[in-house]
Amino acid sequence: MIPKRRYHKTKSPLIYALILAFAGTGMVKTATAIDWTQSRNADKVLGQIDYDTDGSGLSEQNFNYPNSVAICPLTNKVFVCDTGNHRILRFASYEAMFTGAKAEAVFGSSNFVSVNAGTTAQRFADPLGIFVDQEGRLWVCDSTNARVLRFDDAANKSNFPAADGVLGQTLLTTNASPGTPSANSLDSPSACVVESNGTLWVADSSDHRILRYDGAALKSNGGGADGVLGQSMMDTSASGSGTNGVSGPTALAVSNNGTLWVADYGNRRVLRFNSAVSKSNGADADGVLGQTGLFGNGFYGFADNAATTVIGLAWSPVNDTLYVSDNSYNRILIFEFASTKTGLISADTFIGNNVLGSMSAATGQNRSDAPRMMCVDTSNRLWLADTGNNRVLRYSPDSAAASPDIQPDLTVGEKLGKQKGDGIYNSVGAGQKGKVKVIGRKKARLFVIQQNDGRTTNPFILAGSRKNKLFKVKYISLNGLVGNVTGNMLLGTFETADLEPGQTHIMRVDIKATPKAKSRTAKYKGFVRSRDPNASTTELIKTFVKAKPKK
Q: Is pLDDT at 68 greater than 90 in this prediction?
A: yes
Q: Is pLDDT at 546 greater than 70 in this prediction?
A: no
Q: Is pLDDT at 240 greater than 90 in this prediction?
A: yes
Rounded average pLDDT over 519-535? 41
Q: Is pLDDT at 10 greater than 90 in this prediction?
A: no
Of 54-63, 144-153, 301-310, which gets the smallest average pLDDT? 301-310
Measured between alpha carbons, how far is 451 from 510 in angstroms, rounded to an integer?
21
Rounded average pLDDT over 216-228? 98
Measured between alpha carbons, how far is 66 from 82 in angstroms, rounded to an integer?
4
Measured between alpha carbons, how far is 30 from 169 in angstroms, rounded to an integer?
43
Q: How far is CA 378 from CA 69, 332, 381, in A?
A: 14, 20, 7
Q: Is pLDDT at 453 greater than 90 in this prediction?
A: no
Of 21-35, 262-276, 498-512, 514-528, which gets the smallest average pLDDT? 21-35
Closest CA to 165 of 130, 216, 204, 118: 216
Of 180-184, 413-417, 505-509, which gets the smallest average pLDDT? 413-417
Q: Is pLDDT at 11 greater than 70 in this prediction?
A: no
Q: What pLDDT score was predicted for residue 100?
A: 76
Rounded average pLDDT over 436-452? 65
Measured between alpha carbons, how far is 190 from 61 in angstroms, rounded to an integer?
24
Measured between alpha carbons, how far is 503 from 522 in angstroms, rounded to an integer?
30
Tell the CATH superfamily of the 408-548 domain: ntegrin, alpha v. Chain A, domain 3 (2.60.40.1510)
Q: What pLDDT score was predicted for residue 45?
A: 92
Measured between alpha carbons, how far is 311 from 268 in angstroms, rounded to an integer?
10
- pLDDT tens across 466-479, in order? 445 566 666 677 76
Dihedral, CA atoms, 120, 123, 127, 133, nearest 10 degrees?
A: 90
44-395 and 408-548 agree in CATH topology: no
Of 21-35, 87-101, 398-412, which gets the smallest average pLDDT? 21-35
Measured between alpha carbons, how far is 516 from 528 in angstroms, rounded to an integer?
32
Average pLDDT taken over every residue of the chain: 79
Top CATH class of 44-395 equals mainly beta
Q: Is pLDDT at 72 greater than 90 in this prediction?
A: yes
Model confidence at 28, pLDDT cuts 50, 70, 90, reads very low
Closest CA to 183 of 139, 115, 126, 235: 235
Rounded average pLDDT over 191-217? 97
Q: What pLDDT score was predicted for residue 143?
A: 98
Q: Is pLDDT at 537 greater than 50 in this prediction?
A: no
Rounded average pLDDT over 146-173? 97
Of 76-90, 328-342, 389-403, which gets the smallest average pLDDT? 389-403
Which residues, in sequence order, are bridge partners of residue 418?
415
Q: Is pLDDT at 73 greater than 70 in this prediction?
A: yes
Tell me which of 286 and 506 has the higher pLDDT: 286
Tell me which of 222 and 403 has the higher pLDDT: 222
- pLDDT tens across 481-503, in order? 554 444 443 334 444 555 555 56
Q: What pLDDT score was predicted for residue 162?
A: 98
Closest CA to 510 of 542, 479, 484, 540: 484
Q: What pLDDT score was predicted for residue 33?
A: 55
Q: What pLDDT score was predicted for residue 144?
A: 98
Tell me which of 241 and 550 has the higher pLDDT: 241
Q: What pLDDT score was predicted for residue 296?
A: 82
Q: Is pLDDT at 450 greater than 70 in this prediction?
A: no
Of how many residues is the chain composed?
551
Q: What pLDDT score was predicted for residue 385?
A: 98
Q: Is pLDDT at 135 greater than 50 in this prediction?
A: yes
Q: What pLDDT score was predicted for residue 477?
A: 72
Question: Averaging pLDDT over each range in 26-40, 55-69, 481-495, 504-518, which range is the top one?
Answer: 55-69
- pLDDT tens across 275-326, in order? 999 999 999 999 999 999 998 888 888 888 888 899 999 999 989 999 999 9
Rg of the chain over CA atoms, in angstroms?
Answer: 26
In order, the DSSP letters of 160-214 are SPPPSEEES-SSTT-----SS--TT--SSEEEEEE-TTS-EEEEEGGGTEEEEET
Measured between alpha carbons, how far is 547 from 551 in angstroms, rounded to an integer?
12
Domain spans, the chain: 44-395, 408-548
Which residues, in sequence order, are bridge partners of residue 415?
418
Of 2-16, 95-109, 276-290, 415-429, which gets the smallest average pLDDT? 2-16
Tell me which of 308 and 90 has the higher pLDDT: 90
Q: What pLDDT score was predicted for residue 358?
A: 86
